[in-house]
Amino acid sequence: APPPAANDPMWGYFTAIAGQDGEVDAEELQRCLTQAGFTGSYNPFSLETCRIMIAMLDRDHTGKMGFNEFKDLFKALSGWKQNFMMFDQDRSGTVEPHEMSQAINAMGYHISPQALNAIIKRYNKGGTIYFDDYMACCVKLRTLTDNFRRRDTMQQGSVTFQYDDFILCTMAI
């Protein structure tokens, strides 16, 4: 019998970009997400956004991605995309800054108005939030939050970082 993965429609996409060794690069991921029709009528993801996606999954900094992580990525991206489309009723490819704030709050992040404001300042273009930037923001926020929580073993909401570890978990994102 074939391995379970062979029946999974995602398997083809995965092997196409990851090959046998599971090595993944941002250009291949960009091509894959475009060919899989993920971005649909929206503009394809920028290379920059794809790099952050890879950083999200590559927790051990090997540059490799397994099939399960690949499926996790798709699942997470699909959720964020659905969220975006809920706000983008007219399919303009953009949402309003306050809608992005709402979305971030709805995802369960506890972020102060000041930090939310800084995020929106960073991810808007001329006062609107484009699909690619919205997704980049979601990927980055989740990755940074995961990195923080993994170190906050007592769940106290605070983490003591050594400089090198701080750089390691922020520079790749």
CB 26 within 8 A of CB 51: yes
Paired tokens of 113: 């108005």
- Our finding on whether 107 is near its own copies (CB under 8 A) is no
- Our finding on whether 106 is near its own copies (CB under 8 A) is no
- Our finding on whether 55 is near its own copies (CB under 8 A) is yes
Choose the stretch contacting its own copies; rule: CB under 8 A; options: 6-14, 73-81, 89-97, 142-150.
Answer: 142-150
The SS3 assignment for 120 reads helix
Number of other CB atoms surrounding residue 83 within 10 Å? 20
How far is the CA of 130 from the CAs of 100, 112, 126, in angstroms? 10, 23, 10
| Window 23-42: residues binding its own copies (CB under 8 A) | 25-27
What residues make contact with its own copies under the rule CB under 8 A? Answer: 25-27, 46-48, 51, 55, 58, 61, 63, 109-112, 114-115, 117-119, 121-122, 125-126, 137, 140-141, 144-145, 148, 152, 157-164, 166-168, 170-173
